[in-house]
Amino acid sequence: QFQLVESGGGLVQPGGSLRLSCAASGFTLDHWTAGWFRQAPGKAREGVSCISKSGGSTVYRDSVKGRFTISRDSAMNTLYLQMNSLKPEDTAFYYCVADPATPCTIGWAEGDGMDYWGKGTLVAVVS
């Protein structure tokens, strides 16, 4: 059974940092495209970042470029999202996603290409 479990969310002040983790089980994360979505209350979900199967390429939405970094630990079979310089508009539920077929390219977050989702972790950026 494929499973993704997020952790690391919480309450942080503007300008602060958080690192989200996503532990994968039932499959080898290195062999799949993996990424993060987020959804704020009352807003549509949006793709934040993805990393390719090889780890050689990444994609970030414009609003997080230079602030967020996606990475993967093969030994731990875990995906990470390092979030720095957090802003109130980053407040949302963050979901770990993975798929064996969808490539990590521009447009990766459109449609329903990512088949496997975690249950999410809340990030709240407040003064």
Distance CA 120, CA 49 (A): 15
The predicted pLDDT at position 55 comes to 80
Using the predicted structure, report yes or no on whether residue 112 has a pLDDT greater than 90. no
pLDDT in tens, 19-65: 999 999 999 999 999 999 999 999 999 999 999 998 889 999 999 99
User: Where are the strands (E) in 65-112, listed by range?
Assistant: 68-73, 78-83, 92-99
* Cβ–Cβ under 8 Å, residues 20 and 78: no
pLDDT in tens, 53-109: 988 899 999 999 999 999 999 999 999 999 999 999 999 999 999 999 999 999 999
Distance CA 41, CA 32 (A): 29
The predicted pLDDT at position 37 comes to 98
The predicted pLDDT at position 111 comes to 82
The predicted pLDDT at position 69 comes to 98
